[in-house]
Copies of this chain bind each other. A is one copy, B any other.
Amino acid sequence: MFTIGEFSKITGLTIKALRLYHEKGIIEPHAVDQQTGYRYYNHQDAEKARVIRLLKDMMLGLEDIADILKDCSDDADAVGILERHRNRLEDRINDLRKAKGYVDSILNSEREAIAMTKDNSSEIVEKHVPDIRIASIRWKGRYGDTGKYFGRLAKSLARHLAGRPFNMYYDEGFKEEDADIESCFPVREGREIKAPEGVSIRSLSGGKVVSIMHKGPYEQLGRSYERITSHLKEKNYKVVAPPREVYIKGPGFIFKGNPKNYLTEIQFPVSE
């Protein structure tokens, strides 16, 4: 016979828990002193405690545990309860995974934004960009709808994203309405990705680009475009592919943020 303290040490269950289990009829101590109310446990109780610990390792609730202890004397008897429990566990895992997916996509996005914010002078530079693999949606409409398409890409491809989103502009000049735009997200190499409806997965050639970092709201992008196009003319460069606008830092998933802090890189692919 053990006092509750001794029994607690033997079984690894806390005293508080043991008292609760008594109250709920899950482990009734073998004897209770009428005078003092002291609980006394024996070896049979210890066996029950072992089972409870096992079942708690499976994260079963006390109600299920009580049912199992009451109705089962063989593992096979518990299959029904365990099957239900297994499904609930699976559901909870899936919910958590989904939540973690959201959080991860924000964190990745922010981490990349920070890394790419390092070199943010506003000077015009010439550089080489590598080939990348992208997931993209090509659409027609107004510039301001861009966020919708990035949202769609991010939601359906969260796990695969690997870089900052960008737009490619297929029109010759600037178009207010009905612009021909491809919204792109870089995705990881290697893995097989099944493209959602309306999304194309393909690889995009790199090469020489003339680029400028634009700081501030999108309404002021025009200024940077002017600067870069006059540079192109000056140097007599030939533009060989649609210009890209890479959104280093823009509206976030959660907050819009302050447009003054937006960072956008404009790239014009030119011949070597």
Contacts and interface: CB of A to CB of B under 8 A. Distances in A.
Nearest to A89: B100
Given A59-B96, A82-B106, A82-B107, A255 B114 contact: no
B254 A78 contact: yes
Interface of A is mostly: helix
A217 to B, nearest CB: 14
Nearest to A261: B74
Contacts of A68: 254
A96 B99 contact: no
Contacts of A257: 73-76
Interface in A60-74: 68, 72-74
Nearest to A111: B79
Nearest to A59: B99
A58 B72 CA distance: 39
Contact of A75 (B58, B73, B93, B110): B110
Contact of A89 (B58, B75, B96): B96
Interface in A92-136: 92-93, 95-100, 102-104, 106-107, 109-110, 113-114
A102 B58 CA distance: 6
A157 interface: no
A258 interface: yes
B107 A79 contact: yes
Interface stretch (A49-57, A177-185, A235-243, A264-272): A49-57
Interface of A: 51, 54-55, 57-59, 68, 72-79, 82-83, 85-86, 89-90, 92-93, 95-100, 102-104, 106-107, 109-110, 113-114, 252-255, 257-258, 261
